[in-house]
Amino acid sequence: MTGDGDDSDLDLAWKMLNTARVIVAKSPEKTMEKVNILIALAEISMRREDRDSSISYYFEALAILEHLVRPDHFRIVDLNIRICLAFELASKVGDAIPYCAKAISLCKSRIHNLKIAKEGLLADKDLRASAAKGHSGKSTLEDEISYLARMLPRFQKKLEELKQAMSTPSDGIDNIMKRVVSQASHEQSVNNTMARTASLTSSQMARSNNSFHSPTMSTAAPSGSSVTDFEIVGREMKRAKDELISYEPSPKRLAADDSPSVNEI
């Protein structure tokens, strides 16, 4: 539990972000900005122990994100893991399992597609010439492949733990949930939460007097985007956002059979 001061700050952060959500909701466009606001609301709701609301916000974010990026995009993997962990913390282990399994499947698909894209870069003479000048996306692809390869066994281990919990007597499940909650990371201060909240909200307020028919899409994940990283998987997902390239999603969903470019994959 957080202290009274922290609770007050979290309540204020939630109100500010909810105001931002209402503002951007006036536009029918599906944007990454909406995704980021909903994820922030989900994280703050989890800190407030409002787990049902947290899960609901994650679902809203996922529904929008699926229209903006490829089906196996890193952020789709990330959100499925977040939903899985949120269900686990809400003691809904059975609901968590499908999202962990989906994250594993998408992670494998992502690694496969990134390797194909990497081979394509190496086979392209023009890009090889560009690489000699230090402008290749090869190292970026290698970084993401390496990261996902490290995370995949963790996801698989988490799935095993969830299945084990389902076959464990209720007392055992209670003990597992206590362990999960005790591992929840509260290292980030509420001040960081408030700073990020203020940044998102001020951006929305500044545009509230403009037309919402031409919204600006935020193409990069916000710095320090995790308010609560539930355990080591969550912390690793946050750290990866500092290692990987900024996201450049298409305004419309990319076809699964499109030839991926460095900015689209």
- Calpha distance 57→39 (Å, rounded): 7
C-beta atoms surrounding 243 within 10 Å: 11
The hierarchical CATH code for the domain 4-243 is 1.25.40
pLDDT computed for residue 25 by the predictor:
87
Dihedral sign computed on CA atoms, order 236, 237, 241, 245: positive
pLDDT computed for residue 243 by the predictor:
45
Question: pLDDT for 146-180, tens place per residue?
Answer: 999 999 999 999 999 999 998 876 555 555 555 55
Section 27-47 average pLDDT: 93
Give yes or no for residue 99 having a pLDDT over 90.
Answer: yes
Number of H helices, E strands in the chain: 10, 0
Q: Tell which residue, 144, 155, 146, 170, has the closest CA to residue 231.
A: 155
Is residue 97 within 8 A of residue 81, CB to CB? The reply is no
- Contacts of residue 211, defined as CB under 8 A and 6 or more positions apart, other chains included, come to none
3-state secondary structure of 95: helix
pTM > 0.75: yes or no: no
Q: Which residue has the tokens 């909903």?
A: 38
Task: Using pLDDT thresholds of 50, 70 and 90, give the confidence band for residue 236.
Answer: low
Give yes or no for residue 8 having a pLDDT over 90.
Answer: no
Between the ranges 69-73, 98-102, 191-195, 222-226, where is the mean pLDDT highest?
A: 98-102
Question: pLDDT for 173-227, tens place per residue?
Answer: 555 555 555 555 444 444 455 455 555 555 554 554 444 333 333 333 333 333 3
Q: Which sequence spans correspond to the domains of the chain?
A: 4-243
**Lowest mean pLDDT across 134-143, 159-168, 256-265:** 256-265
